[in-house]
Amino acid sequence: MGEPLLELRGETAGYRGKPVLRDLDLTVNAGDRVALLGRSGAGKSTLLGLIHERLRAQASLVPQAAALVRTLSVFHNVYMGRLDRRSTLHNLRTLIRPARADAEEVRATLRLVDMEAHFSAQAGALSGGQQQRVSVARALYDGRPVLIGDEPVSALDRRQGGAVLEQLSQRHETLILALHDVPLALERCDRIVAIDGGRIALDAPSRDLDVAALARFYEASA
């Protein structure tokens, strides 16, 4: 077990002043692969938002919506993962003519998610699944030790999703992912945190669980 990166004790999380989650007790250690599960609206995105706020300096983010600049190229959208680590002058020059080293690094990153062929394409012209892979590539290019992903493979089939999660696992020390695919979560993460009734209702090793044990967190509320 790695050192603790995050400790929440009895905390509340919400948005626009409205509580969504209460009495949050959660510890995330370096090296954890955590899957957040729960039905739609349970508060997974709210919890990820709180975690990202606390770990921002250490975390790369794959948001639920790809959040790409549709009028810019795939290259430029991935390059944005390191905007804060380049000078303003370098970033302005990159809008016009990317440096060869930057272009090659981005190409190599796109290759990891099978999107190198779309290097120069306009982001807005891509399919939903392709946009999601570009969003993942941006996080990979960012390269911080913690990866926070809000349904990062929801637009991909299970094979593609598993391949993308493998790339994230290889290149980020710690993963915290909201996932809707329970078998994929059990396969790719070592810890399951389930949200129900505005609270964390389960926090257990994946090896001790199966799909049937987690079904109640996806059944429609009465």
Phi and psi based region of residue 27 (left: phi greater than 0; alpha: psi -120 to 50; beta: remaining): beta
In a domain? residue 39: yes
Q: Residue 62 — very low, low, confident or very high, per pLDDT cuts 50/70/90?
A: very high
Q: Average pLDDT of 39-58? A: 96
Residue 126's domain spans which residues? 4-217
Number of structural domains (the chain) is 1
Pick the more confident residue, 80 or 65.
80
| pLDDT recorded at residue 2 | 84
CA proximity to 137, closest of 210, 188, 117? 117
In a domain? residue 126: yes
In a domain? residue 180: yes
* Number of residues that make up the chain: 222
In a domain? residue 50: yes
CA 21/CA 1 separation, integer angstroms: 27
Q: Residue 222 — very low, low, confident or very high, per pLDDT cuts 50/70/90?
A: very low
Residues 6 or more apart from 20 whose CB is under 8 A from it?
Answer: 13, 14, 43, 46, 198
The CATH number assigned to the domain holding 104 equals: 3.40.50.300
Q: Is the sign of the CA dihedral 213, 217, 218, 222 positive or negative?
A: positive
* pLDDT tens-digit series, residues 175-219: 999 999 999 999 999 999 999 999 999 999 999 999 999 999 987
Contact of 111 with 134, CB cutoff 8 Å: no
In a domain? residue 56: yes
| pLDDT recorded at residue 1 | 67
In a domain? residue 199: yes
Is residue 121 exposed (0-12), middle (13-18) or buried (19+ Cβ within 10 Å)? middle
* pLDDT tens-digit series, residues 114-168: 999 999 999 999 999 999 999 999 999 999 999 999 999 999 999 999 999 999 9
Residue 58 C-beta-side C-alpha neighbours within 13 Å: 15
User: Which tokens belong to 61?
Assistant: 């983010």
Q: Residue 65 — very low, low, confident or very high, per pLDDT cuts 50/70/90?
A: confident
In a domain? residue 222: no
